[in-house]
Amino acid sequence: MTQMGVQKWRFALSNPAGYVNSTLAIANGMVYACSFDKMVYALDVQTGVKKWEFATANIINSSPAVADGIVYVKSNDACCIARPEVQQQ
């Protein structure tokens, strides 16, 4: 949203049945989202364009954390995943 409350962009998940049930993380010009479609998404904060996505073995209902260029998430299979902050298409 802009400061005036206007929607700036929107992103559709890869799986229409998926949804985000956690807080987003914002770092280094990226928005990180974890979803029930077993995916971690990295989006450009200005445009909403997907920079990369990462599939996990189970749903994710926890929020991502970013530190020192690494994105950390915990999926429901009790696996902690660290993803380097790289730009992939």
pLDDT tens, 11-51?
888 777 778 888 999 999 999 999 888 889 999 999 999 99
2-9: Cβ within 8 A, 24+ apart: 8/48, 9/47, 9/48
Domains and their CATH numbers in the chain: 25-84 (2.40.10.480)
CB 62 within 8 A of CB 22: yes
Encode pLDDT of 47-87 as tens digits.
999 999 888 888 888 899 998 888 988 888 776 766 665 55
The pLDDT confidence band at residue 88, using thresholds 50, 70 and 90, is: very low
pLDDT value at residue 27? 94
